[in-house]
Structure formats: C-alpha cells, structure tokens
Structure 1
Amino acid sequence: MNILVTLPAGPQRDVLFPSDVASRLESVGIVDWNDDDQLTSAELRERLRGVDVCVTGWGSPTLSADVLDGADSLELIGHVGGSVTSIASPAVYERGIPVVSANRAMAPFVAEGILAYMLTALRDTTGFDAAMKNGAWPGTCERTETLFGSSIGFVGLGDVGEELLSLLAPFDPTVRVYDPYASAEDIAAFEFATMAALDTVLESSDVVSIHASKTPETLHMLDAELLSMLPDGCLLVNAARGAIVDEDALVDELRTGRIRAALDVFEEEPLPESSPLRDLDDVVLGPHVAGAPTRYRLAETVIDEIERFDGGEPLENRVSRERYEHMTQDWLEAE
C-alpha cells in the first residue's frame, strides 16, 4: 500500500509517531511522510495521486470533492484524532471511502481525566495544596465532598460518557443522562443510570459533566437560564468543548459562590491571560489535557485499522456518515 501521512514534521508528529510507531507504519506499506509545512488543499490534491491510505491529523486540509479529484486510488482515510468533521466531507461518503478515527481510543483517557477533575474539585485538592504551599495548615474541610452515593448528570453521552459510567460504578452514584441521540439501550449495562430530560439532569445533580459535541444546536447550550437551574453547591465539569457553555454566564454564576466548576476546555484557547476564570477560587482549570495520555496510542489505533483493512477484516473504528454529521465542529463560533 501507498500511505500518505499529511501531518508535517515537528513536535506534534514526533509525539504521535515516535520512532517505533513510525517504523510499524512503514512495515505496513510505502509511507510518504509530509516533511514540509502543513499542506494546502491544492498540495494535498497532488500528493493524493497513487495513494491508497491517507493518514490525517489536526490541521490537515479537508478532503473535499475538489481535493478528492486528485485521489485516483484512495481506499481508506485514517484520522489520528477524534472528530473527523474538519477532515472528511460529504464527498468522501458519497464515494464510499471508509473513514476511521481514534475517537474511541481517546475516550477512556478523557473519561479518566474527567474523573480526576471531579475528585480534585470535590476534595478541594488544589485549595489544600495552595494553602499548604503558602505555609498554612487548613483547619476546615467544609468544602470537601465525595462522589460516593452522589447524583451525577450527563449532558451528552458518546464514547466518553460510556467510559465514564464504567469508572463511576464503584461510587454507587445515581446518574441521569440527557442526550437526544442516545437511548436507554446505550446505558442498559449500568443499572444506576437512566435517561432524563435536560432540566431534570441540571436540577437534580451534585455534579454535572458535559459530553455533548460542539454543533450548531449546542453552541452556548448551557446559558444563564440553564446554569441557574444547577443546585447550590453543584460542580460543573466540562472537558468537551468550551463553547457549549456560555462562558460569561458561567463566570457570573461562579462569582456568586453558588456553584463550582472544573474546566479543561474554553471558548478561546489558549485561555487569555485576562480571563476572569483565572482569578476565581471556585474553579479548577486545565489546558485541554483530559485526553493527553492518549498520545502515540492515537496513531497505533489508526495503524491497527490499516492492518485490518489490508487483511480484509472488519474495521472497528469506522465513522459512519450519521456519526460524522453529529461530531464536534470546531470551526463553529457562538454569536
């Protein structure tokens, strides 16, 4: 097979394709590594001639109908990331080219990161750490809470939500899930979880975790009105996309001291130095790293799929057109 890797040479590719992973890919076929800058659409169209498998990453051009005009033998697209909405296109699906991504490979690590944020915020780990490093010996644990027996709400389910349910099981929680694209069958393996309306999820939870995709219908989905439904003392965790929450409205709620938050994603990234979130005590901040331990496993997942495809085996991480249409669309901005 002729394989094109569109990711340009540099730190990101080095992390995703360390030498052993790169060697493994080269054992599968003849690899054309992009050692130039990020390809333009015109350059990608030319590089696709004679290519059987195209491996893409963050920032790769969209495989539009125009770009695909240069693809005379393309049989598989493998994305070393999660959402493929910026990579694939309706033309890809119309031509019947399979698309695979490492979305499911990321899910357990993102879920682990969310659990870490939950426990860090509920146990006030960062608060105790800061006090101790400033010479204090905090004499109260009034802010410390627990996940055991708690009520947890999910806004969205997806692969990450399903993985998080498994991690939460030992805490014997009550979990309510709002997701118009999921059903009770998707959570049937978890007796402690039920589907519920959005207002029920928000009003009845000690912790609310966001797993929805960033789409036109979810931009600023959690606005001032919905955030006001969160009960006093509630912890809001967002490791999905920042724009799903109206950040200004969230800041207003956090300033009242009524709720807390743990945020791994923001409307603008990197988070501006002037962001008021940096000055609030009731928020734990992370630089979009919930899924960071995935690293080279993303590329390994795509290579697994390339090997399956080459061997005529079923693909395990194929992104259907329906799934593609509901995945996060990072170029969207709230008005």
Structure 2
Amino acid sequence: MTSTNLIVVTSVERDTFLVDGRLEELKGLVAPCRVVDVESYSQESWIELLRETNPKILVAGWKVKPLPVNTRSAIAPALEYICYLPGSIRHFVPRELIEEGVQVTNWSSSISRIVAECALLLSLSCMRRAAYWAHQMHDRGGWKDATTQTQSLFDRRVGIHGFGAIAKELLRLLRPFTNEISTYTEGVPEAVFEEHGIRKVDSLERLFAENDLIIELEALTPERHKIVGEKLLRSIPEGGAFVNVARGALVDEDALVRVAEEGRIQVGLDVYSVEPLPPDHPFRGCRNINMLPHLGGPTTDRRRDAADRALENLRRFQRDEPLRDAITLEVYDRST
C-alpha cells in the first residue's frame, strides 16, 4: 500500500507558522506529500483521507480533526510520526497510538520564552495597576492625585508555582528585577533547583504567604483542580499580586473574584476555566484584574519558532535520531 504524507494546516496557520520558506522546506522533508486545509472536511471525510493517503508522517495544526483509536490498525497502518505544530494534543491524538509506538511531538519548549514574556507583562501590569488606570483614563477622564499608590517589581519577593520550561525562562526575565525568587512544585529533583539557583520552599502555603507576587505556572492534573483556593489567595500579603498564565482550572475562580473585588491584591489573568470567557463573567469589570484573552504564546509573529522546532524534529526523524521533547506516555498523562 502506497503512502503519501499529509500537511494539514489552515491558510492562517500556513501564513503564520510556515513563513519565509518554511512551507517549502517542510514539503521537501516529507515528500511525497499533500497539503490539506482540513476545515472543509467532516470527520468521515477526514478518516477517508487518512485511509486514501496512509501517511507515514502527519504534520498538523489547530483545526485538524481527531484521530480514531484504530488509526494504526484499520485506517492508516503506515503512520509512524505525528508532528503537531501547536501545543495540547490530547484532543487530537489518542493515548493508544503512543502505546502502539507512534512518535508525537508538539511545540513544547519552543514557545516557553514567549509565555514567560506574557507572565512578566501581567506582573508589571499588576504592579502599576494598568487595568485600573486604563479604565480611569479612557472612560473616566482620570488622573493621578496625591493619594495615588504605585509599586515597582524591583526587589519584590516573587514565588513561582511550578518549575518547568516556562518557569526557567521566566527566571531569566525576572532576575534583572529581583533575586528574591522562590518556587514550589512536586516531582522535580533537587539538583534542578540548584542548577538554576532558585530556592524551593517546602509547601504551597509558604510560597503564597511569603511572596509579594505569585506567578502560576503549574501543570494542570486532576489532583490540582482548583488547588489555588481562597485561603491561599488571602495569604498573599496585602498589596501583592497573583498572575495565572498556566490553566484557569488550577484556581477557584469564584474565590479569586471575591478576593480581587475587595482590593487586597492585584490579579493578572491570561487563562480561564471556560474559554472564551463569557461576556457576563464577574472577572469583567473588576478593575483589580488585568486580563488578556489567552494570548500567552506564541504571539503571531513567533509561531515560526514552533515551525522551526517541527522542522528540526522532522530532520531528526528522517535521520532516525531521538526527537526533541517527544510526547511520551508519561508526558501525555500529565498534559492538559
């Protein structure tokens, strides 16, 4: 049975990820191939396309349809490598395919510095109360007066919940501002903290209570659902801030609204438990909450970084070399 590789991207994905010759390089790496915009396909016609082409390599973007559990056994037995240009793959790749030996990669750490940049932006916005002043100056004709309080990020105590690739990039961005940086996470060897020169505290309670700024970067797992509750949020020193660029479901959002509305702390959010954020959500209109609509990363101009990681891994695959940041079963199980 012949095999034709597939590149499944929308026109927007093609024009943002695969710019400046990257599409041509990609086609050369996976030839013979077909480039398909799968938005026009139903689930049934998508499966028929897989059956017709029987790809060894599948390169895909956000709009790709899910792969059936029986893809290898009954639809596309030649499939060996799924190169997913974006991030979360659980909606697209069944665990069974990885169990059967299909290799899978995504953008992984290629976007870490961009998400870290967003965390820094929201942190600075909280310190300067950017949401409040944007409202005052645009809608109220506001201006500072003698009672106006401002804060700087310099010499602040910063706590990072989670210490993966994004946290490591954020650490580099924070160091020009402060050396008072600590972290809390589970399952990371002590040598990692020593390597990066960051202090690990022994509990989440200490992390929140002992820092002026908390940045949420932990991975969402079932046991961490709403792990950041009202008690933790209230333990942040008054005048401090909480920033979340990880997953909305890590936080009890009802409690976060209550604490933010009291004005004790500033809040910076790029992620929410329900997305898009409903128009009537109580986050909207709370002037202590600085909000972005899940823009953390990669920015449109840096999607090319994810494409470069994909091209690198395709070259590795063709040379039968280990793939960078491959999605193992362990990584799959802890991903969101």
Give the TM-score of the pair, scaled to structure 2.
0.88
Say if 2:8 and 2:36, in contact at 8 Å, map to a contact too: yes
Corresponding residue for residue 282 of structure 1: 288
Q: Distance in 2 between matches of 1:185 and 1:320?
A: 23
2:55 matched residue in structure 1: 51
Cα-to-partner distance string for 1:145-201 (whole Å, 9 max, x where unaligned): 222222111222221111111211222332222211323222223324324311111
Match of 2:170 in 1: 164
1:178-257 matches, within 5 Å, as: 178-257=184-263
- 2:125 corresponds in structure 1 to 120
Q: What is the match of residue 11 of structure 1?
A: 12
Q: Secondary structure at the match of 1:277?
A: coil
Q: State the one-letter code of the partner of 1:125.
A: A
Greater alpha carbon shift after TM alignment, 179-188 vs 278-287: 179-188
TM-superposed deviation, 1:239: 1.0
Residue matched to 1:326? 334
Distance 1:136 1:47 in 2: 59
How far is the alpha carbon of 1:41 from its aligned partner?
A: 5.1
Q: Structure 1 274/264 Cα, relative in aligned 2: closer, same or farther at 3 Å?
A: same
What residue in structure 2 maps to residue 313 of structure 1? Answer: 321
* Stretch moving more, 103-112 or 183-192: 183-192
Give the aligned partner of residue 22 of structure 1.
23
Identity, % of aligned positions: 28
Q: Secondary structure of the equivalent of 2:271? A: coil
Secondary structure of the 2:86 match is coil
Contact 1:224 1:246 in 2 (8 A): yes
Match of 1:304 in 2: 312
- Equivalent residue for 1:101, pick from 103, 106, 109: 106
1:111 Cα deviation from its structure 2 partner: 0.3
Larger CA deviation: 199-208 vs 92-101: 92-101
**Structure 1 position 264, deviation (Å):** 0.6
> For the residues of structure 1 that align with 2:233 and 2:271, how far apart are their CA atoms?
17
Contact 1:123–1:144, Cα closer than 8 Å, also in 2: yes
Secondary structure in 1 matching 2:315? helix
1:307 counterpart letter in structure 2: R
Aligned length: 327
Q: Secondary structure at the match of 1:163?
A: helix
* Distance in 2 between residues matched to 1:275 and 1:221, nearest whole Å: 21
- What is the deviation of 1:30? 2.6
Query: Is 1:33 aligned to residue 12 of structure 2?
Result: no
**Kindly tell me: are residues 137 and 259 of structure 1, through their superposed partners in 2, closer, same or farther at Cα, counting changes over 3 Å?**
closer
- Partner of 1:171, secondary structure, is coil
Consecutive unaligned residues in structure 1, runs of 5 or more: 329-335
What CA RMSD, in Å, does the superposition of the two structures yield over aligned residues? Answer: 2.3
Q: Say which SS state the counterpart of residue 278 (structure 1) adopts.
A: coil
CA distance in 2 between counterparts of 1:206 and 1:11 reads: 40
Match of 1:83 in 2: 88
Conserved in 1, the CA contact under 8 Å of 2:84 and 2:106? yes
Indicate conservation of the 8 Å contact 1:76/1:99, yes or no. Answer: yes
Q: Secondary structure at the match of 1:154?
A: strand
Equivalent runs, 1:131-170 vs 2, <5 Å: 131-133=136-138, 134-140=140-146, 142-170=148-176
| 3-state DSSP of counterpart to 1:315 | coil
- 8 A contact 2:111–2:306 mirrored in 1: yes
